[in-house]
Structure 1
Amino acid sequence: MSNSSRLPQNGLGALFSVAGRPTEIKVSFWIWFIGGILALMGGLLGMLASLVLFAAAPAAAAAVVALMLLAAAVGAAQMVFAVKMKAGRKWARVALTVLAGITLVLAGVNTSSGMGQSAGNWTAFLVSLAATVLMWLPNAQAWFAAAPARNTSAE
């Protein structure tokens, strides 16, 4: 294979490259990254859609817009954490695990309050649980343990 047909080692090519990682890390990365994109888009679209509430209930609309912006920010953070986790950063794996825990709490609160889309929250939790379990399996653990020995300058 010629050098011109390879993805670049930096920039967008490196951002999406999962070569050399265990399958568990590859799958977990894509689950977290795509989930982050969906959360970011959902938060931004929800914020735009809630702008019509300002005519009827300005205080409620402001709260909804703030929550949608928070959802978008969490989605963006999730994408950053996923990229850092893929690069072998243990703190990013812990941060994603915490996000999965928050998803569980939110699903429980939503179910007990009877508000919102309970099924959607539980689905989001189960997907994040699967991605979290993958990051903590023995093969992934060994890969993270070897991370300091690898060259991670391509982050």
Structure 2
Amino acid sequence: MRGGFGKIFKTADMPMDARIGYWIWLVGCVLTIIAWFFSNMAIVIGIVVSSLTLVGAGMMSLFGEIRWGVVIAFFATMILQLIMLLLQLALTLKIREGSEWARAGLTAITVLTIVYSIILTIAGLESGGEAIAVAIISTLLIAFFWLPQANAWFIRTTEEADRASGMNP
């Protein structure tokens, strides 16, 4: 990131719509990543302290047999979640620079998250109310970047960057 770490906090050139959306996404991403680490630590501590945690999570049968498929699926899901959170954070930081492709990418990830929540609800792995809440909140949060002032700023910033790099005469 050009300008160092302090540039993350410089949002004066952004329109208010985009600035509000940026701060909500930035704080949300950072807090969610922190929560991801704490929840995984709680799971690991629970597994170390009591094997009943493994039984409760379905990773071990009542007879002590490890269900490796469930264990691998659990850890793969945790890693995928972290990758998605870090991707959201990276896109949010690029949005501060006015990158239209970052806005489109964050929108696509939001849509995929909503679809994923719907699939989990249909499969019975998540409550319907939670999926509806995720869909509504996610849509409202991404909408900040598509409001008229923010939209004009993204287009203008992208065109200026293209001209500066010689991509658009």
Give the structure 2 partner of residue 29 of structure 1: 22
Match of residue 112 from structure 2: 102
Give how far 1:117 is off: 4.5
Match of residue 36 from structure 2:
43
- Opposite residue 117 of structure 2, the aligned amino acid is A
Unaligned runs of 5+ in 2: 48-53, 61-65, 165-169
1:68-114 deviation line (CA, Å, top 9, x unaligned): 11111111110110010111111100001101111210121122122
Aligned to 2:98: 88
Partner of 1:6: none
Residue type of the partner of 2:119?
Answer: V
Counterpart mapping for 1:46-85 below 5 A? 46-51=39-44, 52=47, 53=54, 56-85=66-95
1:123 is paired with a residue of what secondary structure? helix
SS at structure 2 position matched to 1:68: helix
- Contiguous gaps of at least 5 residues in structure 1: 1-8
Question: What residue is the counterpart of 1:132 in the other structure?
Answer: 142
Instruction: Say if 1:24 and 1:137, in contact at 8 Å, map to a contact too.
Output: yes
Q: Distance in 1 between matches of 2:20 and 2:135?
A: 16
Following TM superposition, by how much is the alpha carbon of 1:36 offset from its aligned partner in structure 2, in angstroms? 1.9
Kindly name which structure, 1 or 2, has the bigger radius of gyration based on alpha carbons.
Answer: 2
Tell me the C-alpha RMSD between the 2 structures. Answer: 2.4
* 1:103-148 alpha-carbon deviations (Å, 9 max, x no partner): 2101211221221344334333322211221111111111012103
| Residues paired across the two proteins, number | 143
The answer to whether residue 5 in structure 2 is matched with residue 12 in structure 1 is yes
Identity among equivalent positions (%) equals 25
Code of the aligned partner of 2:85: G
Matches of 1:41 and 1:79 in 2, distance apart? 12
Task: Please report how far the alpha carbon of residue 50 of structure 1 lies from its aligned counterpart in structure 2 after TM superposition.
Answer: 4.2
TM-score by length of 1: 0.78
